[in-house]
Chains A and B, each alone.
Chain A
């Protein structure tokens, strides 16, 4: 069975239980120290930051399935993660944004994401390849 996990949450979320850093205009620091707004991030920013960090590894996580959740305004997304195609399920609010390789921010309900966070999003669909992270274990 797929592993269940949940992405970040924060008690100081501005709206709908989402972390504050997804709000348009939030300042993000890349691993090399460069500052960018969240809406200006590109795929290479994540890839290069992971390379610099040394502790984190970027994985490709393909959306396999999107199902309704019992929780209001939430969905369960099943990902196939990394080379081993590990099956991982996450339960998130429909407006939660994921970063899709070569495309940018995407959510299950882009209109709601834009309404709540002012962050422009594409529609997250089955087959999309999202950026995820793996923590490299210490040797």
Chain B
């Protein structure tokens, strides 16, 4: 039996680098 492989879903923020230090509002 071969189970169907689920397609991975990635969160949008994975694609964007964190380039700045943490800021406060």
Residues of chain A whose beta carbon lies under 8 Å from any beta carbon of chain B: 3, 5, 7-8, 19-22, 26-31, 35, 38, 41, 45-46, 49, 53, 56-59, 61, 79, 81-82, 86, 88, 90, 98-99, 131-137, 139
A136 touches B23 (CB 8 A): yes
Give chain A residues whose Cβ lies under 8 Å from the Cβ of B2. none
Asked whether B22 is an interface residue with its Cβ less than 8 Å from the other chain, the reply is: yes
Chain B residues close to A by CB (< 8 Å): 7-25
Q: Are A46 and B7 in contact (CB under 8 A)?
A: no
A-B residue pairs in contact (CB < 8 Å), sample of 18 = A5-B18, A20-B8, A21-B10, A21-B14, A27-B8, A27-B9, A28-B10, A28-B12, A28-B14, A28-B15, A30-B12, A46-B15, A59-B20, A90-B17, A134-B18, A135-B23, A137-B23, A139-B24
Tell me the minimal C-beta distance from B8 to chain A in angstroms: 7
